[in-house]
Amino acid sequence: ALYEIPDISIPRHVRVNTLKMDVDTALLELKKQFQVQKDDLVPDLLILPPGSDLHDHPLIKDGSIFMQGKASSMVAAALAPKPGWEVGKVLDACSAPGNKTVHLAALMRGEGKVIACELNEERVKRLKETIRLSGASNIKVVHGDFLDLNPEDPQFSKVRAILLDPSCSGSGTASARLDHLLPSSAPGQGADFASTERLNKLAAFQRKALAHALSFPEVERVVYSTCSVNQVENEDVVKSVLPLAASNGFQLETPFPKWHRRGLPVIEGAECLIRTDPKEDKEGFFIALFSRSSSNQQEAP
Ligand code: SAM
């Protein structure tokens, strides 16, 4: 129950699943019940007053809208996949429960194909449930370890965009902010959220996964994101791959230039990175976008 205490001071965001409903229709529907407005940064995001209860709303139940925070919705939007990219062009590396996967599918207007990789069998079920609810038919689920995907395999060698949202400490989320209320002895909770050993283990995987993403031969855009506020999982991970990124022709790009909270000034290019603040923005997220040019280069959103 502790984890379900809603934060009543911060606006609610919902992402319109444009595979099922356009943004203006969703706006009109929700206006019957709430004061709603469009978000100024993410085009398919709507803002509702703090505390708006949407859990049983028909649009949530039928997958026309998803409860998804602003920071979380900025991740797929930063990757900006192109509608019509055929099979094998967009890869969600660590995908369950699939919120960003189905966002990618919607940004591609249901055309082309997103490959969604997930290691954990139970979470593959949740991923499939999210996909079913979204109505997306352009997602191929791969149950396996992202690190084992061979970038040279013809299935993956044409991947042009990778969304990497790996397991992280979750220290930017509401449950982590309530953490100090928990007994530190609770297994997996309490002091464990911030244990150095755990953070280092997570960071080791995050560094490996990001380096792997940057090794796909035709990839042009890689988004790395976490819902952590820890430098070790964010700027430090980006810093560790900068030499590899540079030698593979990548540079950090600046998604959402109007967003004011950027990376901690501990690495070169920190101003390209995005941070959100757990208190001010509801969740503490981190987003980095790597890109390299090709004949089909895209603009950052
Ligand atoms: N992007 C998801 C979303 O927005 O709904 C959340 C992803 S969650 C932070 C990280 C996921 O990565 C977990 O489901 C975890 O099981 C999965 N994962 C962890 N290690 C992995 C690996 N080596 N290969 C593929 N998936 C992995």
Domains assigned to the chain: 6-67 (3.30.70.1170), 72-291 (3.40.50.150)
Active-site residue flag, 227: yes
Q: How many residues does the chain have?
A: 301
- The residue nearest atom 19 of ligand 1, judged by CA position, is 167
For residue 139, the cross-strand partners are 114
129 touches ligand 1 (CB under 6 Å): no
Report how far residue 230's alpha carbon sits from residue 223's, in angstroms, rounded to the nearest whole number. Answer: 18
191 confidence band (pLDDT: 50, 70, 90): very low
Condensed to tens digits (0 to 9), the pLDDT of residues 108-161 reads 998 888 999 999 999 999 999 999 999 999 999 999 999 999 999 998 999 999
Q: Judge if the upstream peptide bond of residue 97 is cis by omega within 30 degrees of 0.
A: yes
Condensed to tens digits (0 to 9), the pLDDT of residues 40-56 reads 999 999 999 998 999 89
Does the global pTM surpass 0.90?
yes
Of ligand 1's atoms, which has the minimum distance to the CA of residue 227? 9
Condensed to tens digits (0 to 9), the pLDDT of residues 231-249 reads 999 999 999 999 999 999 9
165 touches ligand 1 (CB under 6 Å): yes
- Check if the interface score ipTM surpasses 0.95: yes
- The residue nearest atom 8 of ligand 1, judged by CA position, is 167
Q: Is 95 marked as a binding-site residue?
A: yes
Report how far residue 78's alpha carbon sits from residue 228's, in angstroms, rounded to the nearest whole number. Answer: 18
Q: Is 169 marked as a binding-site residue?
A: no
Of ligand 1's atoms, which has the minimum distance to the CA of residue 75? 4
Short-list 288, 239, 286, CA closest to 267: 239
100 touches ligand 1 (CB under 6 Å): yes
- Specify the pLDDT at position 189: 46
Q: Report residue 74: phi and psi, to 5°.
A: -75, -20
Report how far residue 249's alpha carbon sits from residue 265's, in angstroms, rounded to the nearest whole number. Answer: 23
Report how far residue 227's alpha carbon sits from residue 229's, in angstroms, rounded to the nearest whole number. Answer: 7
